[in-house]
């Protein structure tokens, strides 16, 4: 079996995005200024970002047998993503994510996972061939954690490079997962949830990264928003600064980063260079509204990045 550059196991949602002057407080009703509906879910987003950069991509996900599910499948196919392991259920609606975005680009998100919760072990085993023949496997936490672990076990056994995006984060993830991961990439909030270390300074990020390395992860990449990223391994720590950007909408920026990161790693770039390039692409995404619609195409990239993708 010929594998993909990137295989993604994860959730697919429909984003219901409201733009508002500010995020509401408890019990408050606000008038929004604009509404958009788009395709989302961390798995779907990361797969689409990778496909937009020209990578061959396969996705393993579960959709509801409804109009949202049908439209999501068509969206994957539009980007040339392998959908042979996209399955449907009539036992739950497709996942949805109501999102509020304020005038500064900050967001608040509610996820109703729906059909994503029903992705099962049998379906992962059916997809074992595509997982084990891919260059990079990407998993997150919007589907049942045991399903992500099953996919990671298959990849680990086959020597596939693995990326785990622990979002949305929770404290009680099984310790086994750390030994199955080549890269774990949380943001500041997720790193705090995983480690109990509140990240205010670079030193805090270093300590959180070291904590995760001690759990068995080879490399930790903590994304720090407009402050860049930090790469922590057993032997070294590297801080990757980013250019200052006026964000329009930060929705999906983390998925843009992970999807881009997976592509550069699949092309054999170093982790350090891959983080640098992925930061640049995520920076482009926050300058546009929406989630997948904000992700840049190859034609939107600098000549430098175009060269790196060849």
What are the tens digits of pLDDT across the range 266-277?
999 999 999 999
Percentage of residues in the chain with pLDDT exceeding 90?
A: 80
Cα distance between residue 9 and residue 141, in whole Å: 10
pLDDT band per the 50, 70, 90 thresholds, residue 226: confident
Cα distance between residue 300 and residue 285, in whole Å: 10
The answer to whether residue 245 scores a pLDDT higher than 80 is no
Alpha-carbon 59 to chain mean position: 13
**Does 255 participate in catalysis according to the annotation?**
yes
Q: Which of 15, 182, 204, 255 is catalytic?
A: 255
pLDDT band per the 50, 70, 90 thresholds, residue 310: confident
* Average pLDDT for 193-216: 95
The tokens for 96 are: 């949805």
pLDDT band per the 50, 70, 90 thresholds, residue 137: very high
Q: What phi and psi, each to the nearest 5 degrees, are found at residue 297? A: -85, 170
For residue 270, CA distances in Å to 155, 168, 264, 265, 273 come to 20, 27, 8, 7, 5
First to last CA, the chain: 24
What are the tens digits of pLDDT across the range 43-95?
999 999 999 999 999 999 999 999 999 999 999 999 999 999 999 999 999 99
Cα distance between residue 43 and residue 185, in whole Å: 14
pLDDT band per the 50, 70, 90 thresholds, residue 1: low
pTM value? 0.92
Cα distance between residue 242 and residue 132, in whole Å: 34
Domains present along the chain, CATH in parentheses: 6-309 (3.40.1190.20)
């Amino acid at each position: 079996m010929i594998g993909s550059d990137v295989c993604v196991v994860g959730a697919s949602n429909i984003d219901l995005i409201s733009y508002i002057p500010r995020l509401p407080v408890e019990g408050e009703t606000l008038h929004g200024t604009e509404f958009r509906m788009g395709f989302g879910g961390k798995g779907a987003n990361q797969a689409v970002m990778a496909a937009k950069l020209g990578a061959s991509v396969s996705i393993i996900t579960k959709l509801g047998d409804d109009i949202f599910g049908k439209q999501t499948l068509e969206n994957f196919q539009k980007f040339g993503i392998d959908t042979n392991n996209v399955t449907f259920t009539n036992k739950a609606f497709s996942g949805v994510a109501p999102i509020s975005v304020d005038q500064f680009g900050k967001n608040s998100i509610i996820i109703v996972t729906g059909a994503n919760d029903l992705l099962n072990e049998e379906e992962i085993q059916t997809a074992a061939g595509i997982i084990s023949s891919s260059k990079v496997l990407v998993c997150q936490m919007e589907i049942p954690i045991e399903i992500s672990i099953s996919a990671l076990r298959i990849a680990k056994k086959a020597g596939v490079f693995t990326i785990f995006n622990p979002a949305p984060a929770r404290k009680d993830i099984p310790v086994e997962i750390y030994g199955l991961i080549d890269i774990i990439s949380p943001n500041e909030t997720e790193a705090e949830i995983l480690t109990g270390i509140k990240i205010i300074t670079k030193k805090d990020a270093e300590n959180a990264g070291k904590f995760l390395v001690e759990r068995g992860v080879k490399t930790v990449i903590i994304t720090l928003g407009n402050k860049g990223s930090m790469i922590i391994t057993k032997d070294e720590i590297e801080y990757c600064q980013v250019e200052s950007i006026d964000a329009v909408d930060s929705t999906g920026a983390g998925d843009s980063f992970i999807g881009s990161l997976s592509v550069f790693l699949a092309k054999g770039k170093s982790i350090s260079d891959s983080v640098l390039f992925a930061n640049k692409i995520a920076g482009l995404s926050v300058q546009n509204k929406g989630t997948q619609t904000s992700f840049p195409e190859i034609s939107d990239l600098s000549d430098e990045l175009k060269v790196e993708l060849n």
